[in-house]
Amino acid sequence: AGGEQEEDGAEEKKEEEEEVGSCWGEPPAKRVKSEAFGEDGEGREDGAEEKEVVEQKRARGQNKSRPCMKPNHYEQTRLCPSVTQGCAEKCYFGSRCRFLHDIREYMATKPADLGHSCVLFETFGKCIYGVTCRFAQAHLGDGYQNIVNVDLAKQWEGKALVRNNLPKDLQHQLRKRKFSFRRAEEYLRALSEPRGDGGKGGKATGCSVEKEEMSNCTAPREGLGDSPECPVLPEQGEDPKADTLQSSGPTSGEEASSIQTVGPVTDEDVIKLRSCEKKKLEIQGKLYLAPLTTCGNLPFRRVCKRFGADVTCGEMAVCTNLLQGQSSEWALLKRHHTEDIFGVQLEGAFPDTMTKCAELLNQTIEVDFVDINVGCPIDLVYKKGGGCALMTRSNKFEQIVRGMNSVLDIPLTVKIRTGVQEKLNVAHKIIPKIREWGAAMVTLHGRSREQRYTRGADWDYIAECAKIASPMPLFGNGDILSYEDANRAMQMGVSGIMIARQVPGGALIKPWLFTEIKEQRHWDISSSERFDILKDFSNYGLEHWGSDTQGVEKTRKFLLEWLSFLCRYIPVGLLEHLPQKINERPPYYLGRDYLETLMASQNVDDWIKI
C-alpha cells in the first residue's frame, strides 16, 4: 500500500507483509476477552491463549482418541482385480496400475488363512475372489489355480441372488446429470406456476391434480386424447395437434433412446396409472422389520427373514447421495431374492430432490413400496430440515408426499413420530393430511424426537391415531420384545406392528422374536443356538461383502455392532418373571455355561472373542 517498490527489495517486503497478515488472522477486538486477563489485570501471552483454545477444541465431542476404524494396511499389497478374475493382460490401467500383478509376490505378504472351508466355494461351487480369499486353501490347486465345482456352479448359473445393483452406465448418467426426470420436472413446474389468487404455486396445484385423479377413478376415459399428467395449454402460434401427436408416444429421439422396451408396447407403458389402479400394499397383520440404520443390512435381514419376518425394508438412504450415484448409498437398496415383500426408505428435506429420487428408483430398481423417513431424531438430519423436522414444515411435507406419489407406480408409505417436543403430540393432526395427500400407509413410533429411544412408547396415543387414520392402515412401533407385547399392541386397533431398534431394541436383541410371536411362546434359546445364528450371519456377510480381507473386515465390523445389542438379551431360563421388559438393565450375572456368560458381557474384548 505504500506505493511503488524497488525490484530488489520487493520480494523481501512482500514476505514480511504476508507474515504480518497471518498474525492478524482475526480482528483485535475479538481476541481481547475478559477471560484473557488474569486477576491482576495483566493480559496473558498470546501463545498460551491459543494453546488453550486448541485444547478445548480437541476435548469437544465424544471419544476423539479412538483410532480410525478403516484398515488401510491391505491397500499397500493388494492384488489387481484383473489378476483375480484371470485376465491380467486386460488390466485397464496398464503400466500405471498401482496394484500387484505377481501372484507369488502377493502370496508372500498375504495374511494367513482364517479357516479350511470357504462358504462361497461350498455354496456356489466357485469363489470369485480366488487367491485373495482368506479361506483360499479350500479352492486353490497347483500354481495357485482357482478350482471350480462345475456341477454346483451350473445350478446357480444365471440366477440373480441380489437385485437392485447400480449399473455403471446408470452411475455415469447420474454423475453427468444426463438422466431424464420427465415426470418429476412436470410436477415441479406445476409447483412453480402462480395460483389464480395471485400467490405462489404449491398447494393449489397439488390439490387440483389430486382432484382430477379422483374424478378419473370414477369416470371412464374417453379416447386416447386424455393426457396422464396435468394438461398444459399450448401457447399462441403453436399447433395443438402437433403437441398431441408428439405426446401420444415416445417418438422423439431422446425418449426413444432412454426407454428400453421388451416386446410390444402396451397401454400400461404409455398411460400413467391412476391412484385407484396402483398396486395395493396388502400387509395388514404381517410382521414388519423396521429399517435399521447400520445394523439393518442385508445379512441381518436374511437372519430375520429366516425367523419369520414378513416385510423387510432397507436402511435409510439419503436422496441427494442416490441422485449423485454414490455406490455406498446405492448398496443400501440391495435386495436378496428371499425378501418377497421389500421396500426402501428415503430421507430428504425438499420436494425437488425427493420427487426426482422417487422417479429414479421407480424406473431402475425392484421394490414393493417406498417409505419416507419423517421420524429420524438425529441432529445431522433434523437441522437440515429432514426427518422429524418435516412434521413442523407442513407445506414442504405436503409437496414431498404429493410429488413422490405422482411419479411412483408403487405404494408410498410414511414413518413418523408422535411429534418433536415431548409433551406436544401432533401426529393426530398430521395423519389425516397424509391420507389426503395420497400415502398408502403410515407407521407411528410412539415416542417424540426429544424422547429419542428412551422411556416407554405411548400406545394409548397410537390407538387414538389408528382410529383417526382409518381406512388408511396404521402400523404401531415401540417397546415390542415378546409375543405378549405384540398381542397387546394388536388389541389397540393397529393394522400391524413394526419391530425395530429401540435401545435396547426388539429385533436387534432377539431376531427370533418373529418366531415367538407366530408360535405364541417364550423361546428359551440356548447359547449354542445363538452362536449358530452368529455363524449364519458371518456366512451371509462373507457372501454379501466378500471373503477377501476387505470383506472379512467389514463382516467383523457389522458383527461387533450387532453384538453390542445382542448382549442385552436375558435368557428366559434366568428371568424371575416373564417377559423381559424393553428398558430393564440386569445386574452382572453368570450364565448356565461359559458361552452364555460371554454373550452377556458388556466388554468389547469378549465380543472379539466371540
Separation of alpha carbons 470 and 312, rounded Å: 24
Separation of alpha carbons 606 and 355, rounded Å: 46
User: Cis link prior to 411 (omega < 30° from 0)?
Assistant: no
The SS3 of residue 192 is helix
Query: In the numeric block, which cell numbers belong to residue 184?
Result: 418429476
* Residue among 183, 215, 227 at smallest CA distance from 402: 183
Instruction: Write the DSSP string, 543-562.
Output: HHH-SSHHHHHHHHHHHHHH
Enzyme catalytic residues: 376
What's at 127, amino acid-wise? C
Separation of alpha carbons 405 and 296, rounded Å: 26
**H/E segment holding residue 343:** strand 342-347
Whole-angstrom CA distances from 538 to 24, 414, 544 are 56, 32, 10
**Residue written as cell 391415531?**
465
Separation of alpha carbons 66 and 84, rounded Å: 34
The string over 536-556, giving b where at least 16 C-beta atoms fall within 10 Å of a residue's C-beta and e elsewhere, is ebbbbbbbbbbbbbbbbbbbe
| Helix, strand, coil percentages for the chain (3-state, nearest 5) | 45, 10, 45
Separation of alpha carbons 37 and 503, rounded Å: 47
The SS3 of residue 591 is coil
499 close to 313: Cβ distance less than 8 angstroms? no
Separation of alpha carbons 570 and 442, rounded Å: 32
The DSSP bridge partners found for residue 85 are: none
Give ∠ CA 274-250-321 in degrees, rounded to 5.
70
* Residue among 161, 129, 164, 122 at smallest CA distance from 146: 129
Give ∠ CA 367-383-445 in degrees, rounded to 5.
50
Query: In the numeric block, which cell numbers belong to residue 590?
Result: 453368570
Burial class (CB in 10 A: 0-12, 13-18, 19+), 2: exposed
Burial class (CB in 10 A: 0-12, 13-18, 19+), 97: middle
Separation of alpha carbons 375 and 383, rounded Å: 13
